[in-house]
Amino acid sequence: MANYFSIFLVVISFVTGIVWLIWALYFAPKETSPTNESESNKGAKEAKDTELPAFVDFCKQMFPIFFGVMIFRSFIYEPFQIPSGSMMPTLLTGDFILVEKFSYGLKDPVTRTKFLETGEVERGDVVVFKYPLDERKDYIKRVVGLPGDTIIYRGKQLFIKKACREGQNCTGLEPVSVKSLGTGQYSLSGFSLSLFEEQLGDVKHQILHNPSLRSSTTEVIVPAGHYFAMGDNRDHSEDSRRWGFVPEENLVGKAVFIWISFQFERSPEDFLPTWFPSGVRFSRVGAIG
């Protein structure tokens, strides 16, 4: 859906711009040579805009708006809504976030072909990407493994052996630092979740485990041009452990900011519909860790 909207913005910007340009070049009234300007001449000039056909006037007024939105959304920031709890506690259902589109390169908004390199993915980044099994869907997860890394997830403990180039002083398989922060703050489907602080590279963030669930073992080597991504709600996230790696070309951008957060806690019996917010979590507005 997001990609269809990008195509729509490109098409509508092109159409309104071309209509306005053709009118200005070939059909707009020509200005007469400058003379002593009389009141009637001034009036004629001021009336020129009113001579525009309705459709041309619409295109003239709307082209800057459509073009500006296209540039902002395609190359700078794009808004997204968090629809599930797979990234709890970092992101909650009802969070509205901004995704920085230029973090990892500028892409053609229609074909998503990168034409300018601007940065690289770092371990610990929260990224939005096209779901590899259905690119019509946008997913959001945290990057755990970079190309060439060995990733092992066993007994709810993450181990990483970083990619090593020839000649480097390479490290072996190392456990990712995790510190318990207790339980009781978060729950899901009636189960109390355990809160931990994890450190991936320079990024400290919080994750959740469900002590009532066991986790399977995952052991992979991340191929070139791909990333291994996991949700912070480790036992309730469909991520790279289940559907594989994130191709670099599927990256949309880096999630950087929560600009508003709504609660949706209405029951079907309420007067207002369930999709209508029941409250605003102003405390959540800010940068994403």
SS3 per-residue string spanning 182-200: EEEEEEECCEEEEEEEEEE
Q: Which of 60, 101, 107, 141 is catalytic?
A: 141
Q: Which of 6, 13, 74, 86 is catalytic?
A: 86
Q: Check residue 94 and report its DSSP letter.
A: T
For tokens 């500028």, what's the residue?
Answer: 106
Contact 254, 125 (CB under 8 A): yes
Can 60 be counted among the known catalytic residues?
A: no
CA distance linking residue 212 with residue 37, whole number of Å: 85
Contact 130, 109 (CB under 8 A): no
Using DSSP, state whether 23 is helix, strand or coil. helix
Can 86 be counted among the known catalytic residues?
A: yes
CA distance linking residue 95 with residue 101, whole number of Å: 18
List the structure tokens of 175: 């456990």
User: Catalytic residue positions?
Assistant: 86, 141
